[in-house]
Amino acid sequence: MTKIRSGNGNCLCGAVQFNVAIVSPHVGACHCSMCRKWGGGPLMAIDCGTDVVFQGDDENVTVYESSDWAERGFCNKCGSHLFYRLKQNGQYIMPAGLFEDQDGFVFDHQVYVDNKPDYYSFANETENMTEAEVIAKYAPPEE
């Protein structure tokens, strides 16, 4: 898998900036109801692994626990969505639009495709996963 190294970016107002050691160029769309409520449409995001460094996060980032296995962070000044983070391993999934350099990004997968409303669709050929497939792959086992 090709990687873009040392991606950086910021929120809309610039109060939060970040640097990511390894950025996957593979953009995915999440159609789950939480992502659509969070941003008014699908979340278009990339896998950023666990090596993400934020500046301005102590005072400007609010984290919301959105499920048993994940949390979402946003700038509490401008409201920009900053990340979806898996609690189990600290993996960041971040909106592609936050990155300064988006050259090389490729939209190639969609998740929760069975939750997608009928009023939009993408023309790209992508790998698609249903809600059940995503939960089976990523949710921690129940205790």
Correct CATH for 4-138 of 3.40.640.10, 3.40.50.720, 2.60.120.10, 2.170.150.70? 2.170.150.70
Q: How many CB atoms lie within 10 A of CB 128?
A: 15
The whole-number pLDDT of residue 5 equals 64
Give the separation between CA 3 and CA 108, rounded to whole angstroms: 14
The whole-number pLDDT of residue 4 equals 62
Give the separation between CA 119 and CA 116, rounded to whole angstroms: 9
Q: In the chain, where are the structural domains located?
A: 4-138
> Of 87, 99, 79, nearest to 8 (Cα)?
99
The whole-number pLDDT of residue 75 equals 98
Could you list the beta-strand ranges (E) of the chain: 4-10, 17-23, 26-30, 43-49, 52-55, 61-65, 70-75, 81-86, 92-95, 106-111, 127-129
The whole-number pLDDT of residue 6 equals 72
The whole-number pLDDT of residue 125 equals 95
pLDDT beneath 70: ranges in the chain: 1-5, 140, 143
The pTM of the full predicted model, rounded to 2 decimals, is 0.89
The whole-number pLDDT of residue 143 equals 65
